[in-house]
């Protein structure tokens, strides 16, 4: 018996048509979400993990990333409708809701920085800050600066605003100033304080240490993904698929050191020690819950921040606006 190995063009065409139909059906089930992020923000590490492992497609979404130059640019992009979601803090959300907007918040990170001092500065206590320059990231209404003011007032009876010469600058520039000895103390964001610790700087007090003294019983989420409630209601499967893909990326980054080796070029670290410090600080900042207790902690913190930040921080409302934290996603 002779077996023919000739291809059947008709059968091959049918198989191709079937595969094409399956592909198109699969693509039809995938919806897009446009996100605006800071060009060099740490959230890019997580988004890269999502993309590398195909987690967005796995959950039925495609994340389209727009990288922007600054925090104000991300807010403008969201308000102008050119992106669907951004990363910012819930204070901004509450302020916007008090003016009639419907933005809502889901936690991204609870990571916080701290007050770092140069080992040769002679600064051993908060009182020793008097008369010195203090570098501050984030501006006059930065959450960490407001918490430090409240904490210092409560512990030594003095507002550091009256003790130090505040120097507001970009986080990487503040690190450069400190390492060169131009500034003896810096209040910076978590991934910059991690770099300073590796460089031999000393943490005088962390933002985590301040919270219990300020009456906040647990670490509240500080920054998160923000989007319109109306948009989320109209795109329920998209926003939930997006958030689920991010949670899965966090699980990978929490457990896999190899993932951090892959991400190393994005982190722009100089050596293994800094990579490990940033990795561990990131992992410590992964939210483990998003429930009423977390919202209560944020509400407690709002009262303190409102006292020191004033209208520039909270707008016209003296209370955290209802709906600031999105009710559609809990864990």
Q: What is the CATH number of the domain that holds 208?
A: 3.40.190.10
For 128, phi then psi, to 5°, come to -70, -10
Region 246-262 average pLDDT: 98
Residue 16 lies in a domain: no
Residue 200 lies in a domain: yes
- 235 and 307 in a single domain? The answer is yes
Residue 243 lies in a domain: yes
- 174 and 242 in a single domain? The answer is no
Q: How far apart are CA 106 and CA 87, in angstroms?
A: 9
| Per-residue model confidence as pLDDT tens digits over 182-241 | 999 999 999 999 999 999 999 999 999 999 999 998 999 989 999 999 999 999 999 999
136 forms bridges with which residues in the sheet? 168, 187
Indicate the residue among 187, 213, 239 that finishes a domain: 213
Three-state DSSP state, 155: helix
Region 255-278 average pLDDT: 96
pTM for this one? 0.87
Number of domains in the chain: 2
Region 70-78 average pLDDT: 94
pLDDT number for residue 2: 44
The residue ranking higher by pLDDT, 302 or 26, is: 302
Q: How far apart are CA 93 and CA 298, in angstroms?
A: 12
- 46 and 72 in a single domain? The answer is yes
Do 255 and 107 meet the contact criterion of CB atoms below 8 Å apart?
A: no
Report residue 226 as tokens: 């923000």
Interaxial angle between packed helices 143-156 and 292-309, expressed in degrees from 0 to 180 and rounded to the nearest 10: 80
pLDDT number for residue 15: 53
Residue 1: is its pLDDT beyond 50? no
- 118 and 207 in a single domain? The answer is yes
User: What is the β-pairing status of strands 185-188 and 133-136?
Assistant: parallel
- Give the least confident one: 15-19, 39-43, 129-133, 162-166: 15-19
Indicate the residue among 158, 183, 213 that finishes a domain: 213
What secondary structure letter does DSSP report for 184? Answer: S
Residue 319 lies in a domain: no
Helix (H) or strand (E) holding 73: helix 71-80
Residue 301: is its pLDDT beyond 70? yes
In whole numbers, what is the pLDDT of the chain averaged over residues?
91
**Nearest Cα to Cα of residue 38 among 65, 71, 7:** 71
Residue 320 lies in a domain: no
What secondary structure letter does DSSP report for 131? Answer: T
């Amino acid at each position: 018996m002779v077996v023919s190995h000739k291809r059947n063009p008709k059968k091959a065409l049918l198989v191709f048509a079937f595969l094409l139909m399956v592909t198109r059906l699969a693509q039809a089930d995938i919806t897009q979400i446009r996100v605006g992020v800071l060009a060099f923000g740490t959230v890019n590490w997580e988004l890269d993990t999502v993309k590398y492992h195909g987690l967005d497609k796995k959950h039925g979404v495609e994340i389209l990333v727009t990288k922007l130059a600054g925090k104000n640019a991300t807010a403008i992009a969201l308000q102008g409708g050119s992106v669907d979601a951004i990363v910012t803090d819930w204070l901004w959300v509450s302020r916007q809701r008090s003016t009639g907007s419907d933005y809502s918040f889901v936690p991204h990170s609870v990571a916080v920085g701290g007050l770092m001092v140069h080992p040769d500065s002679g600064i051993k206590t908060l009182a020793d800050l008097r008369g010195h320059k203090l570098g501050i990231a984030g501006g006059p209404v930065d959450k960490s600066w407001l918490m430090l003011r409240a904490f210092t007032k409560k512990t030594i009876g003095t507002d550091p605003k009256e003790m130090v010469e505040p120097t507001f600058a970009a986080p990487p520039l503040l690190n450069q100033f400190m390492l060169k000895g131009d500034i003896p103390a810096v209040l910076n964001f978590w991934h910059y304080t991690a770099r300073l610790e590796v460089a031999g700087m000393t943490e005088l007090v962390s933002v985590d240490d301040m919270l219990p003294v300020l009456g906040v019983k647990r670490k509240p989420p500080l920054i998160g993904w923000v989007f319109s409630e109306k948009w989320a209601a109209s795109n329920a499967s998209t926003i939930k698929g997006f958030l689920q893909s991010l949670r899965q990326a966090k699980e990978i980054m929490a457990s896999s050191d190899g993932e951090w080796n892959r991400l190393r070029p994005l982190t722009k670290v100089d050596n293994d020690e800094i990579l490990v410090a940033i990795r561990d600080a990131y992992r410590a900042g992964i939210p483990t819950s998003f429930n009423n207790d977390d919202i209560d902690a944020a509400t407690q913190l709002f009262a303190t921040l409102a006292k020191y930040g004033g209208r520039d921080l909270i707008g016209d409302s003296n209370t955290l606006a209802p709906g600031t934290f999105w009710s559609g996603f809990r864990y």
